[in-house]
């Protein structure tokens, strides 16, 4: 079972989700709707079982009632995905997203990104990747991207993975940027994007190279830099109507990426 989580308890969720005992526990409880502790101990012999259960109960991921344990978080199955995709509200949201302008897609993506700041936790039974949103921002620049889970082909995705110490020298961006300080990098990106927008020269640097590598900037046949992503100075009006369910929004943007035949989307809000 694969887990998706976020919000204020993200670190605690992450620590728990990586424990083999928790993974075995969730798999067993998903297969057996309710189980007593004696059954769990027969199935899972790990020494930290009871401690893991206590932690999961505190995080409201498992409930104990009438001496029986049950999962409190939703588990996504292929059947559930198919059912959600057939819902009229989901189909309407997807069709609306497909026909909207870049700015309205950006607004919906920002809404999705804000949802990911709330506490959420769910499991997935199959090895399916769902889209996620990530944003980097300072007072001048917002870089917001949507990519399949664990993708580091965008700068927001890269810095998110860097924060979690998930990168090695095998990652081309990490080989280029290393453990660069985020605020300093954002200042450099802001300066380069502004110069490019104003059609001014930009000296070669690792930050310019990173913007080219992540398809934010492109180099034309005359060796001039060009912006390769939509750039705006504000967010638009929200036009997507869908319940504030993180999984539904992840599925929505997963299907939108399928429609666009792209691995990721990215936008810039630049405030001069």
DSSP string, 106-128: HHHHHHHHHHTTS-EEEEESS--
Dihedral (C-alpha) 211, 212, 216, 221: value to the nearest 10 degrees? 140
For the stretch 209-223, pLDDT in tens is 999 999 999 988 777
Greatest distance between any 2 Cα atoms in the chain: 73
Is the separation of the CB atoms in 24 and 16 below 8 Å?
A: no
For the stretch 168-200, pLDDT in tens is 778 888 889 888 899 999 999 999 999 999 888
Burial of 233 per CB tally in 10 Å (0-12, 13-18, 19+)? exposed
Q: Which helix (H) or strand (E) holds 14?
A: helix 10-17
**Global pTM value:** 0.87
């Amino acid at each position: 079972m694969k887990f998706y989580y976020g919000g204020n308890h993200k670190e605690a969720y992450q620590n728990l989700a990586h424990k083999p005992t928790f993974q075995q526990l969730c798999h067993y409880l998903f297969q057996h709707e309710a189980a007593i502790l004696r059954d769990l101990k027969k199935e899972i012999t790990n020494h930290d079982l009871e401690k893991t259960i206590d932690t999961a109960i505190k995080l409201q991921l498992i409930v104990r009632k009438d001496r029986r344990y049950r999962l409190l978080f939703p588990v996504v199955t292929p059947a559930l995905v198919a059912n959600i995709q057939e819902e009229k509200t989901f189909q309407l949201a997807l069709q609306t997203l497909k026909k909207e302008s870049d700015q309205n897609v950006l607004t919906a993506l920002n809404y999705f990104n804000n949802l990911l700041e709330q506490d959420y936790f769910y499991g997935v039974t199959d090895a399916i990747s769902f889209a996620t949103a990530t944003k980097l921002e300072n007072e001048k620049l917002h870089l917001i991207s949507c990519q399949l889970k664990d993708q580091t082909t965008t700068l927001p995705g890269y810095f998110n993975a860097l924060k979690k110490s998930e990168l090695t020298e095998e990652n081309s961006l990490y080989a280029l940027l290393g453990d660069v300080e985020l605020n300093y990098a954002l200042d450099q990106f802001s300066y380069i994007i502004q110069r490019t927008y104003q059609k001014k020269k930009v000296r070669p640097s690792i930050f310019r190279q990173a913007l080219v590598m992540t398809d934010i900037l492109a180099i034309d046949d005359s060796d001039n830099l060009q912006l390769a992503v939509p750039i705006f100075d504000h967010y638009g009006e929200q036009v997507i109507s869908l319940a504030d369910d993180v999984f539904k929004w992840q599925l929505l943007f997963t299907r939108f990426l399928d429609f666009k035949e792209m691995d990721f989307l990215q936008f810039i809000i630049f405030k001069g």
